Amino acid sequence: MKKRAFIIVLDSMGVGELPDAALWHDEGSNTLGAIRDHENFYCPNLRRLGLFNIEGVGGGVDRPAGTVARMAERSMGKDTTTGHWEIAGLTSPKAMPTYPDGFPAEVIGEFERRTGRKVLCNKPYSGTDVIRDYGREHAATGALIVYTSADSVFQIAAHEDVVPVEELYRYCEIAREILQGEHAVGRVIARPFTGEYPYVRTARRHDFSLTPPRDTMLDLLKKAGYDTLSVGKIYDIFAGKSVSEMNRTTCNDEGMEITLRMQDRDFNGLCFVNLVDFDMKYGHRNDVAGYAAAMSAFDRQLGTFLDNMRDDDILIITADHGCDPSTPSTDHSREYIPMIMTGKHVRRGVNLGTRASYADISATVLEYFGVDQEETDGESFLRESVSAAALLPCDALSDRELMELAVTAKSSAYTPYSHYQVGAALMTSEGEIFTGCNIENATYTPTVCAERVAFFKAVSAGRRDFAKIAIAGGREGEVARMCTPCGVCRQVIAEFCDQDFILVLGNPEETREFRLSEILPLTFTKKDLGQSE
């Protein structure tokens, strides 16, 4: 059984200031709050999944279709690198260096010596303003425009006709070699631009990140034999470490188009996606209308993604920091991020409140794949968020294979009175199988159904956690199109399983999954007797 997880990072889509926001001069920042009331904002899919049910957001639906949480950042930072590293299980207790007064002379001098080009600017600057103010001097002299921001970045802007892009990338590699130790900024960024004054930036930006200092979720998954696919700048953020496939993008739309194509592939592992336009094109440029419209465009593509999800897929939608487009600042903001999880086996309407670290996402994904999470800095919320079917090991039987076992069990049925045989195959959350068949009695009342036989065998063997049951029925030598459990069996199932427990009905040629809530919507359980689980 192949498993797939998708993490889509809406770059900078924070959901409100963190308690320590004042330390970062980000009091009052709320990226989602800044755009949610704009006329361009229309996100019915995100609303249905529970975006507005997240703690502190407000305006949610009665029963969201997914599991949600508000995630706090434990790392000392508010930038892309620390945010993504923490999502992947690696927190950064020490902030990466920033340069509000520009880079020191020893750094700039070594950079000029090794590139053979002078440096212009060397101060914090807006990316669009810096090419407007220094672009003509750069074009006339060939000097490189070096600038930074409130983030831990060393950015190099150059006109593509003056410095070919590949040469610009080589200069970035030189800067990356220089910027180590005390000057180890999170990212060196190539910022090519083109055209005539006032110039326009091109889509050939490229990030040169620090290598994560220890293993992340990507390393642990790859070591365990899983695919680690990336879309957008994920490859750059992790310096390519343990990324098995890279897919660069030029915009959000292309990023989602690639992600939708990924859904058609039979990979086994993680697809990690970054959609950078929210941050780069709208957050940093204080464009509320553009940010709101971009969220609406994503939501439309999200609808297509949700329709194409397979039974064993999970999707996590999150962010990496904030970038409130309504504040005077054009920099990132220190905010909580959203976590929205959905999939066939993900529980609906679960609100996990506020989690202590973005790293809980990595621990959850690793547990989903059965990989040890102890090397990450997070705590998994998987068991609070999914049904037992999602916890099955990857080598667990498929629905069709489980149904075949039910058909085999059916052949052992004792049915001298009805001549209608039923077989059941019950799978525990560990993938263990218990089978049962119906056993009739001349006085009828003592007759026991196949489903109960399977459950009673499992319970008497000490098992209590169950994932799914396949049921096959029909006359001797035949298998009916579908055989559903009787009312008593449904009640027995409800005694040991929650409403998301899966029933596999049909026959080996065609199976169909049902949740217990669909066939017994108003259960009477121990909760109704005032007893806890």
The CATH code of the domain that includes 513 is 3.40.140.10
Q: Which of 356, 386, 416 is the last residue of a domain?
A: 386
Residue 100 lies in a domain: no
Residue 347 lies in a domain: yes
Q: Note the pLDDT of residue 1.
A: 66
- 115 and 14 in one domain? no
Residue 98 lies in a domain: no
Residue 394 lies in a domain: no
- 215 and 193 in one domain? no
Burial of 118 from C-beta contacts in 10 A (0-12 / 13-18 / 19+)? middle
Q: Note the pLDDT of residue 362.
A: 98
d(Cα 439, Cα 428) in Å, to the nearest integer?
A: 23
Residue 392 lies in a domain: no
Q: Which of 208, 227, 243 is the last residue of a domain?
A: 208
**Cβ-count burial 90-115 (b if 16+ within 10 Å, e if not):** bbbeeebbbbeebbeeebbeebeeeb
- 228 and 310 in one domain? yes
- 230 and 192 in one domain? no
The answer on pLDDT for 533 being more than 70 is no
Per-residue model confidence as pLDDT tens digits over 177-221: 999 999 999 999 999 999 999 999 998 999 999 999 999 999 999
Domain that holds residue 173: 105-208
Question: How many C-beta neighbours within 10 Å does residue 532 have?
Answer: 5
The whole-number average pLDDT for the span 161-168 is 98
The count of domains in the chain is 3
Residue 391 lies in a domain: no
- 226 and 358 in one domain? yes
Per-residue model confidence as pLDDT tens digits over 85-119: 999 999 999 999 999 999 999 999 999 999 999 99
pLDDT band of 532, cuts 50, 70, 90:
low
Scan for tokens 């169950």, then name that residue: 466
d(Cα 41, Cα 302) in Å, to the nearest integer?
A: 14
- 229 and 154 in one domain? no
- 160 and 14 in one domain? no
The answer on pLDDT for 135 being more than 80 is yes
- 285 and 176 in one domain? no
- 183 and 218 in one domain? no
Residue 308 lies in a domain: yes
CATH, residue 133? 3.30.70.1250
Residue 489 lies in a domain: yes
**pTM here?**
0.84
- 195 and 158 in one domain? yes
- 155 and 84 in one domain? no
Could you tell me which of 391, 372, 373, 395 has the C-alpha nearest to residue 382?
A: 391
CATH, residue 332? 3.40.720.10
Q: Which of 362, 386, 410 is the last residue of a domain?
A: 386
- 267 and 292 in one domain? yes
Average per-residue pLDDT for the chain: 95
pLDDT band of 166, cuts 50, 70, 90:
very high
d(Cα 248, Cα 233) in Å, to the nearest integer?
A: 7
The whole-number average pLDDT for the span 229-238 is 96
Per-residue model confidence as pLDDT tens digits over 271-280: 999 999 999 9
Q: Note the pLDDT of residue 171.
A: 98
